[in-house]
A = this chain, B = another copy of it.
Amino acid sequence: MLEKNTCFGCEFQSSATKFLKKEELENLEKCSVGIHFKKNDIIFKENIFSSNVIYLKKGIIKLHKKTSSKEKIIKIVKSPNYLGIPATFNEKYHYYSATSLSDTMVCFIQKEKFKDFIYSNSDFAYKIIKSLCENEIILLEQCFNKSKKNVRGRIAETLLFFYNEIFHQKKFIIPLTRDEFGKYIDTSRESVSRILTEFNKDRIINLTAKNVEILNEKLLEMISENG
- Contact B186–A147 (Cβ < 8 Å): yes
- Contact B125–A90 (Cβ < 8 Å): no
Which listed residue (B65, B74, B126, B186) contacts A125, Cβ 8 A?
Answer: B126
A40 within 8 A of B: no
Minimum CB–CB distance for A183 against chain B, Å: 9
Interface residues of A in 48-81 (CB under 8 A from B): 65, 67-68, 70, 72, 74
Contacts of A119 in B (CB 8 A): 122, 126
Contacts of A212 in B (CB 8 A): none
A interface residues, tally (CB under 8 Å): 41
Chain B residue nearest to A186 (CB atoms) is B147
Q: Chain A 186-212, CB within 8 Å of chain B: the 1/0 string? A: 100000000000000000000000000
Question: Residues of A with Cβ closer than 8 Å to B?
Answer: 65, 67-68, 70, 72, 74, 85-87, 89-90, 92, 95-96, 115, 118-120, 122, 125-126, 128-130, 132-137, 139-144, 146-148, 186, 225
Given A72-B144, A86-B140, A119-B122, 17 other A-B residues pairs in contact with their CB atoms under 8 A: A65-B144, A74-B144, A86-B133, A86-B137, A89-B129, A89-B130, A90-B133, A90-B137, A118-B125, A119-B126, A122-B125, A128-B129, A129-B132, A132-B132, A132-B136, A143-B143, A143-B146
18 of the cross-chain contacts (CB-CB < 8 Å) are: A67-B144, A67-B148, A72-B144, A74-B143, A74-B144, A86-B134, A86-B137, A89-B129, A92-B137, A119-B122, A119-B126, A125-B125, A125-B126, A125-B129, A129-B132, A132-B132, A139-B143, A143-B143
